[in-house]
Structure 1
Amino acid sequence: MAEKLVPLVGSVPTNRHQADGSVDPHERIEVTIKLRRKVQTGLPTLDEFVAGQRAAGMTRAELAERYGAAQEDIGKVHDWAVQSGLSVSRVEPGSRQIHVVGSADAMSRAFGVELGRYLHARTRTHFRCPKSDIHVPQSLASIITGVFGLNDMPVVVHHGVRVGRRAAASSNPKTQFPGSFYPNEVAKLYNFPQTDGAGQRVAILEFGGGFDQSVLAAYFTNNIGLQTPPVVNGISVLGQPIKVDQDVTGEVYLDIEIVGAMAPKATIDVYFAPWTGEGYLNAIEQAVHNDDYAAVSISYGIDEDLRGSAGDPGWPMLNKNLDEAFQDAVAVGIPVFVSSGDQGSSSLRGVLSDQQTEITVYSNTAHAGYPATSPYVTAVGGTMLYANNGAVSEEVVWNELGAVQQGQFYGETEKLQNGKYYLGGAGGGGVSDRYKTMPSYQSGAGIALHSANGAGASGRCVPDVAGNSGSSTGYLVSQPPGSNPSVAPVGGTSAAAPMWAALMACVRESLAQAFNGSVPVFFFNDFVYANGTTAAFRDIVGGRDFTYTSDGEQVAGAFIPIGNNRSTEASGYSAQKGYDLCTGWGSPNGAELLKQLETWLKQQPATSKQRPAG
């Protein structure tokens, strides 16, 4: 008699996208099964972590051995999968993964589901998804913590590649796009340490696209002036093709070229994963368990309120397992920098009915983006940076939104709709509606800000830090093939996250000397909030007005004393002296940050482990 199947907690599927047929029963599907840890003792739970508990520093090997999957659990799940007609393609005890492969028909029987085909509203792509809860055998219900891959819905969006306003044609990008910067110029304005990331590695997560080594080499040689381009490695996750395309490659070039120009001696590992929950989880876990990275940069996320039956399939299950992956990163001392989003306080993006123009969707309530809201990561907000004679002349809150518009667009979860929206973008920020307890590193620093959605509503606040993100003050980077010009300015908080990752590569190179080749394991946010009022950060308060012409041309207006990121009826958030929900503690003063960090680390209680500084 077959064993009873029970529903897997948090696996409820979507019901808000258009049904579009059935799944071919012979379709080949690969699924990632996540298992429980051997033990939890010594690795704080989410509640314990938010309350201030930290794991003793450990190496990646110790993390895998102590907190990976038990061989007994692996054996039980392996045997069940084989008995169910599935093939086990890979077992990863350290990251607690078992990968199984089989036909759609076999998967349906094994997990007790019927698979349907749907049309995604905003991206207009087709995806596969269970029509009911995923089920597992009762004897394995306490062992299996997640099943990913039965649905392949695009659950994340990149935080917008925004090309700046075009000036008169010129062979010199600096002339053609006044106000824009090469990444190394921003590094100088942010006073990066006099190091270049030698001996360090940085991980970048991408979801689609690819890169052309000859394009990178030409950019670093001709535009940045490097004699030797940085080493860039493409790493495929779940067999994702690494292929240059028009849609996503611009984001790839942005991330790589910012890190490479700011930390030219660092090795850059670029993880390319499918644009799905399974891909997102695997990319993070593969990076965390692969190397002792100076930092991980993620420019992709999603409005944290789009979960479960309200939006994305199995979001609570994915949310839990992603947080555990970030928990692993903290345990081994790898900082994860995540862009806070480009839609201001609404956090909602869309595309006009022309399928070309990306917009910020006007929202009745404020939203924050995940995984920026995860207490385990460092959320990066946006500023607009202005310079004169090689020095910062102004730096203000990034908000290039014009007046509210009315028209048809595709939103995150609905069909074509008529509603309000903005052209342009603004830095994401706000108070989480999902992580309702403010982390101790924020409450201990005296942060007492509340959500715009309700009087007294508190929780995890974002962002933590910020950096240059405006399209009108964008980074001059390579564009996808066939673009004219081939180098143009790009903004968004997707640019600020790799900037911080590059800074950490330079910082860790310097720390290696102070700590004899090894650096204590620490959580970066603990340092940030303990030192937010010091010279390590430039406090950002002001803003600037923007309007748009009838043909969509951006027009910069006057600087204003107080900036904001409002894109909602609930008003959004305004900047203030000190920490705020627009730019966190502000942008970096790199050399001073290094000085403060070294001093702070030497004052911390000794951890059980240090990890190599390179």
Structure 2
Amino acid sequence: MTTRNRASLSALLLLITVLLGALVSACTADNSGGNTSTTNTSPGGAPRKAPTRKPGPLANQPLEAQAALLGSPLSPGSQLTLTFNLAFDDDALNAFVTQLYTPGSASFHQFLTPEQLVQRFAMPDAQTKQIQAWLTQQGYTQISTDPLHSSIKAQATVQTIQTSLGTQLYTFSLLNQQFYMQNKDPHLPSSIESYIQTIAGLNNLALPDIKPPRQSTHIQQLGQESDCTKYGAKQTLTQQKLAAAYQVDQLYKKDLQGQGTTIGIAEFGDPYDINDVQNYIACTGQSMPSIQNIDVGTPLPPGTGEGEATMDVELIAGLAPKASILVYQTQLQDANNPISQVTSFAQGMLDVFNRVASDHKVQVLSVSYGLGEEMFSTSDQIAINNSLRNLAAEGISVFISSGDCGAYSLRARFPQIAEVSFPGSAPYAISVGGTYLQVGDDLQRSSETVWGGDDGTPVCQNSWGSGGGVSQNSAFTRPGWQAGDGVTTSYNGTTQGVFVRTLPPQTLQAPNGLRQVPDIAAAAYPNISIYYDSAWVRSGGTSAAAPIAAAGTALVDQGLRQSGKSPLGGIPEFYRLANKAGSNQPYTDITQGDNLFYPATKGWDYTTGWGSPNFATILSMES
């Protein structure tokens, strides 16, 4: 090649380079200095800007922590793991989910895959790497982004965290519980602040009380035989009775037992003994289903646990005997050692919900855990609700127990502070309340009322009844789909001295323009036969109601799939069923009983929502 040809070629390459550079600059220029990534696109295929955070706290203190006593500063060398929850395109995603559950819309039940969720609404790679780079510069280690681009987890010393976020971490004590918390809201540099919605892990006040209601005196009465002679003794509810009460047995007649369906169970700090499950299943006369444990974060040590996980797995395995069951397990910090590497409850929920969404293997998810809203920071509640929104966008039904302390999920009634349980109060949860179900040996339902009872104790031991009421989180406005007969019934706590936690305390008002719970209900009174720790026991709680609802819905989804229909999906569908019922009865309306404040009424109410599901009817309405 001659020198002239080489020079001409060089000039041509230079011209092409300049033109390409100009084209790239034109495509990437924006008001934030060129941070738009082309790896994420709008539905039309055009590059879109990175989403930015919505107004709200980055990481605030739980309201309940205001009563805590300040302790000593955390050791600067202690290691903590933080979760930086990334901004999503909230406006676009909220609008999409609304259309997703609006019959007649072009997007109706066009559920997303995880890849579509990331491509259309999540943080692009460029901004994610920018945040990771800043964390590295500050001294954080073990930095990882989850597959949904919903959060970045990173580990650092307390000193690094305090310096990088401009806050201080202290120990606190509240009601004999030790926890840590920041002394003021953190802040981030302007270069990344707009890309991070919230930070989780700066407090660990919330710690679930893993103890479903059961009466230990019944253990001896029901016996410890493993040969099934005591299964169903003392009129306890067996798998057959539960199936008959909620029309699950009618689905069995259609050969709908969960074949080809996968059900998820979330367990936070509570293991189970597979031998207990095997014995329970053997006594139902069924074959053992496929059960797989999935460790999320720190593996959970084996053991019999407190009975929560055992009940969850047994009820789902019994009611959906041919479904595959995935048990998502994560270990939480020890209440006696709150300053540890093990995750907080809020972080554990984020980890599990994001893992379920990115795995995209289950059709339904059962969650039997919760605490009063005020035990969580507003920022953590927002982050967890956003994770539940992602699951709704994927068409995954998430059933969460509404709590076992009636209208008082803070567990104390003097003074009477009404409180709902979170995450059941999250707008994208399907909150499941509790009933007192009685079924005869002829498998006929004899009665079903609200599960509720006053045991006279000042502190709840998970036996006061069905959780329900109104959220006090101003971010949880009542969704448009929460409508129908009974939803606007008013209650005033003046005559009974019932308040909400404000300074000064304000009388409870319902409705208050915010999320109302529960949505539906199922058996919860502790008369359900469970095999736990090598013994037959009576157990229950809304911890039982959630897996019952999840199992029945999984069979409905199986029937819908066989008819070429999409699954039920998220919470709006359950209100649509109620409001289009006509002569159908998708739910058995519970009209008797109360949860220590709210009474059961016709239609929707604050004790059992729409009532208990009739799954065969629901399938016929949707087919």
TM-score above 0.5: yes
Q: Which residue of 2 aligns with 1:424?
A: 463
SS in 2 for 1:259: helix
Q: Which residue of 1 aligns with 2:285?
A: 225
**2:87 aligned with 1:27, yes or no?**
no
Query: Of residues 307, 310, 317 in structure 2, which corresponds to 1:253?
Result: 310
Please tell me the residue identity of whatever aligns with 1:503: G
Q: Which residue of 1 aligns with 2:47?
A: none
Query: Of residues 333, 343, 367 in structure 2, which corresponds to 1:298?
Result: 367
Query: Of residues 242, 250, 255 in structure 2, which corresponds to 1:186?
Result: 242
SS in 2 for 1:503: helix
Q: Which residue of 2 aligns with 1:16?
A: 67
1:129 deviates by 2.1
Q: Which residue of 2 aligns with 1:64?
A: 118
Q: Contact conserved, 1:114 with 1:130, CA < 8 A, in 2? A: yes
**2:429 aligned with 1:336, yes or no?**
no
Structure 1, 7-16 or 78-87: larger mean CA deviation:
7-16
**2:319 aligned with 1:262, yes or no?**
yes
Please tell me the residue identity of whatever aligns with 1:397: V
CA shift digits 1:99-131 (9 cap, x unpaired): 21222222222222222223342xx44333222
Residue correspondence of structure 1 range 341-360 to structure 2 within 5 A: 341-349=403-411
Q: Return 5+ residue gaps in structure 2 as ranges.
A: 1-54, 333-343, 493-507
CA shift digits 1:202-221 (9 cap, x unpaired): 11111102122233223322
Structure 1, 265-274 or 191-200: larger mean CA deviation:
265-274
Provide the aligned length of Structure 1 versus Structure 2.
523
Q: Which residue of 2 aligns with 1:604?
A: none
Q: Which residue of 2 aligns with 1:479?
A: 532
**2:495 aligned with 1:470, yes or no?**
no
Q: Which residue of 2 aligns with 1:596?
A: 621
1:191 deviates by 1.3
SS in 1 for 2:188: strand
Identity %, equivalent residues: 25
Residue correspondence of structure 1 range 556-575 to structure 2 within 5 A: 563-566=593-596, 572-575=597-600
Q: Return 5+ residue gaps in structure 1 as ranges.
A: 1-6, 351-360, 410-420, 543-562, 567-571, 599-614
Higher helix share: 2
Residue correspondence of structure 1 range 39-58 to structure 2 within 5 A: 40-44=91-95, 57-58=111-112
Structure 1, 124-133 or 79-88: larger mean CA deviation:
124-133
How many angstroms apart in 2 are the aligned matches of 1:295 and 1:279?
19
How many angstroms apart in 2 are the aligned matches of 1:257 and 1:342?
20
Residue correspondence of structure 1 range 85-104 to structure 2 within 5 A: 85-104=139-158
Residue correspondence of structure 1 range 487-526 to structure 2 within 5 A: 487-515=536-564, 519=567, 523-526=572-575
Residue correspondence of structure 1 range 250-399 to structure 2 within 5 A: 250-273=307-330, 274=332, 275-304=344-373, 306=374, 311-312=375-376, 315-349=377-411, 361=413, 363-388=415-440, 389-399=442-452
1:333 deviates by 0.9
CA 1:218–1:455: 2 relative to 1, 3 Å: closer
**2:170 aligned with 1:116, yes or no?**
yes
SS in 1 for 2:92: coil
Q: Which has the larger radius of gyration?
A: 2
Question: Which aligned segments of 4 or more residues in structure 1 are displaced greater than 6 angstroms?
Answer: 45-55
Q: Contact conserved, 1:173 with 1:487, CA < 8 A, in 2? A: no
1:494 deviates by 0.8
SS in 2 for 1:300: coil
1:136 deviates by 1.5
CA 1:405–1:447: 2 relative to 1, 3 Å: closer
Q: Which residue of 1 aligns with 2:276?
A: 215
How many angstroms apart in 1 are the aligned matches of 2:146 and 2:547?
28
Once superposed, what is the RMSD of the aligned Cα atoms? 3.0
Please tell me the residue identity of whatever aligns with 1:395: E
How many angstroms apart in 1 are the aligned matches of 2:260 and 2:415?
45
How many angstroms apart in 2 are the aligned matches of 1:50 and 1:60?
18
CA 1:465–1:586: 2 relative to 1, 3 Å: same
CA shift digits 1:495-537 (9 cap, x unpaired): 0001011011111111111017x55866433433324563221
Q: Contact conserved, 1:50 with 1:375, CA < 8 A, in 2? A: no
- Which of structures 1 and 2 has the larger relative contact order (alpha carbons within 8 angstroms, sep 6+)? 1
CA shift digits 1:50-90 (9 cap, x unpaired): 99998853222211222222111111111111111112432
Q: Contact conserved, 1:68 with 1:93, CA < 8 A, in 2? A: no
